Amino acid sequence: MILSMTGYGKAVVVFEGKKITAEIKSLNSKSLDLSTRLSPVYREKEMEIRSMIATALERGKVDFNLWVEKGEGAQSAPINGALAESYRKQIRHISGQYGIPEPQDWWPLLLRLPDVMSRDEQVGELSDGEWQVVHGAVEDCIRQLMDFRRQEGEALQRKFEEKLDNIAQLLRSIEPYEQSRVEKIRQRITEGLESIKAVEYDRNRLEQEMIYYIEKLDINEEKQRLQNHLAYFRQTMADGHGQGKKLGFIAQEMGREINTTGSKSNEAEMQNIVVRMKDELEQIKEQVLNVM
């Protein structure tokens, strides 16, 4: 079963009156692009947390947040005014230096910057008991994200199966037009020559030239290769997760065969079918970017 790179997980735990929230979300990416934002007290564990996430998720653009909220009656977090003023001066200096407009509303921007809203008690030493609780929350939110990825992967696989079936059906629908066009080509060329009364031609040579021309328009090899690619795509999905890049390569090869079939199609009906095959394949290519 394939996995999606899209996912979300959130775990909330309570330790000694503190509400601790771990949240993680992921989108598609060619490699692992991990961004973490932790409360100061947990920063000493950042490398361990990043290792946990990288081992479980492998690929994707991942955002992880870990923060603490005090219970009722706890002192509110103070605003670090000196730090906020320092940020404001730096932003104004950069705006003037590079001609970038200054923010219209400073407060929302300043309050989001690192450590402007600080809690002195959070910067203390992290106890083993609290870390065990936090570690479990991190594992839980990662597990939720993986469950989300599996569900999304199942939906993607059903979508791919549907699109592959549609392409296979469209490929079969080409056959009647393919068989009739040979006789149409022969008849069109013969009628054209016979309409020119003053021209005599060698019928044996004409047959040879028509055979060569018809062979150039033959799409049997393209059809066979496309059928093989469809089967290989299904087989690769069955191999499990971690096949996203390979599925992308197979989709590219499918596109080459469909394009070649279109360039050899000299019947309007065949070209219409090829356009519909391209549309189905394009939907596969869009969604395969989300596959692990």
Asked whether the predicted pLDDT for residue 12 surpasses 50, the reply is yes
Residues 226-261: tens digit of each pLDDT: 999 999 999 999 987 778 999 999 999 999 999 999
Burial class (CB in 10 A: 0-12, 13-18, 19+), 103: middle
- pLDDT score of 195: 73
**Phi and psi based region of residue 58 (left: phi greater than 0; alpha: psi -120 to 50; beta: remaining):** left
Q: Using 50, 70 and 90 to split pLDDT, how confident is the model at 212?
A: low
Asked whether the predicted pLDDT for residue 168 surpasses 90, the reply is yes
Asked whether the predicted pLDDT for residue 141 surpasses 50, the reply is yes
Q: How far apart are CA 174 and CA 6, in angstroms?
A: 37
Q: Where are the domains of the chain?
A: 78-118, 153-288
Q: How far apart are CA 291 and CA 248, in angstroms?
A: 9
Task: Please give the C-alpha separations between residue 289 and each of 4, 162, 215, 266, 273, in angstroms, as whole numbers.
Answer: 9, 17, 37, 33, 25
- Mean pLDDT, all residues of the chain: 87
Asked whether the predicted pLDDT for residue 54 surpasses 50, the reply is yes
Q: Using 50, 70 and 90 to split pLDDT, how confident is the model at 71?
A: low
% of the chain beyond a pLDDT of 90: 54
- Closest among 254, 206, 193 to 227, alpha carbons compared: 254
At residue 123's C-alpha, the angle toward residues 22 and 88, to 5°, is: 90
Asked whether the predicted pLDDT for residue 151 surpasses 90, the reply is yes
Task: Report whether 109 contacts 117 (CB < 8 A).
Answer: no
Sheet with 32-38, side-by-side order of all strands: 7-15, 18-27, 60-70, 32-38
Q: Using 50, 70 and 90 to split pLDDT, how confident is the model at 62?
A: very high
Q: Tell me the whole-structure pTM to 2 decimals.
A: 0.71
- pLDDT score of 182: 67
